[in-house]
Structure 1
């Protein structure tokens, strides 16, 4: 059973609540000074301030040509992103380097344990409080400056307790992170297994003893003797949003007026997710009947970072269309079999061979129409799709259990950090 302190008092701070009687409340400025020295990324390597801490600049980070206008960071400094759309991005830097100007860089003062406050600053409650002190015009551009941040009230336990709590949380959260990593590894293994099951079924069939033949396509190899290789254009119709039937920002809304406009973000694994959608005006929707999406359609991403992703449409909540990144594929026979085949490494290989453009990778509709796919007899397509429906559902259920466990572990980690840094529990 966890220990608690003998006596408590009201901190006077809503997000902190009661604290041990011997703890104090002080302004954050008592523990840090601001480092506001401008430097160049030519002299100090660029760093990224992330939810995982301070890291060498990520490839995905937004780059600027103004590399001479950055902030210096030294080993042991604490950096936090001042923008509300980067909530939770902060940490102690293990590097000398430079960060973008939207970050606040702080030097810890004497007689405080920087690791203790690092744990405190990673609580959800502190993140909420931090942005309450900010200012801005719209929510996602809300900014908290050091002049505001330094006036936030935080706890001050005795230094020995700060050190004990930091050491305990380092160890305990390290154990939790290891458990989370184990669950993530198991999910990766299940996803790889699911991929192998799909690939084996759609390329070799369900009968391991069936006679095989050379497909004539190098990256596909051997296929069952009774199967064919065809180009997608001969077994399916493909449409996309083109030309004058495009739309502008004013045609879209979040108020539920019009038809759902599906984007790559709605495409999760094999099936669609309609939990977050944008709506297109009825006028624009009715201009393009060929991309009015129906249950049983296949959606295929042709543009952007998730190019090559395919999803099967079912359980549409209302009329729907697609944005310009997506193609609508309507097979002439079994939709699900083709959708499963579009999930295989064969299609990934063909797609990557056909992609052009560095900043925004794109594969043309014509190249997709001319992709090679395996085409078994219809009865086998149906049998394989039914088999994969059952098999992948079983694997997805196992993955969901692992993801649920990860959520529980992350919630537990958040709770113990908060409980110890605010004195609700004692080391």
Structure 2
């Protein structure tokens, strides 16, 4: 009777190194595609502020990265340079953007790294590590090598996965949240708690982790473990860092939540969920333009995968998918939902398992997802507002 080979000797095993290499190759290809699709000149739809920011980046030491600095990236870079401040006339409030990425960019700037370069490099490095953490965590949950590889493939090929390479928070949240989940499965609650604290400074959807732990304990009719309480306290501390800093900087501890009104969001409510779902149903009928119909597909697809994950893997896995989406819907709009579902990263592995059932399904996913990502990346670098 032959003994099973160690994981490191199995060519198909999703080891740390192989997962990281796969993610790295995907980022190099994505960054290259963005530069290739970049406009030669600004279009007539560019605003004066966008033109000024473009000129500033082009005059800097890394002008070739200018196509990746779009929309929210400008806010993150401005916060890194100037901190949080009350909005000037005609300007959106920067308190709506969380501090982890700006803090890291500012830290890099103190040692001489150009902020634009740091703003692009940091998310891409975070995605490489975060994708590997997510894959290893999914291996603990699913036990399937194929599911892990296909799930990481979904993370890289999803039509809006290019946001993982832009100066946005998505990659940082993936690293912190997936790293915390992996630490929890490895029975390292202190590290999981630290990861929850960091995740909360990138996305407040970090609350999905402690909520999932408590729901899991409640449904099992047992008291939450000390580790679950530690993760909850640490995640709450991360949110408190945001609230406290904005209180000191702007004199209003609720500045972050109020700022979202400027972007068309309501205060969270159950009624908001209903209104957002109705909006998504209406968007399904807007076939004359490609973007509006993609948003509800991403939304309803993620919700379906979240329900599947809950039933098959348990409430923690399900909460990590469903709560970020529910939190976004509670504000009464589907604004940016195509990007927000990136925080529901376990959904990628649920879809990966489904794709593993049929080669035809895998081919169909690539035929649909890769051209779609190319199109939306083209819109992004050409300053076409996706919403």
Same fold (TM over 0.5): no
The structure with the largest helix share of the pair is 2
Q: Considering fraction of residues, name the structure with more strand.
A: 1
Q: TM-score, normalised by structure 2?
A: 0.24
Looking at both structures, which has the greater relative contact order when contacts are Cα pairs under 8 Å and sequence separation is at least 6? 2
Bigger Cα Rg? 1
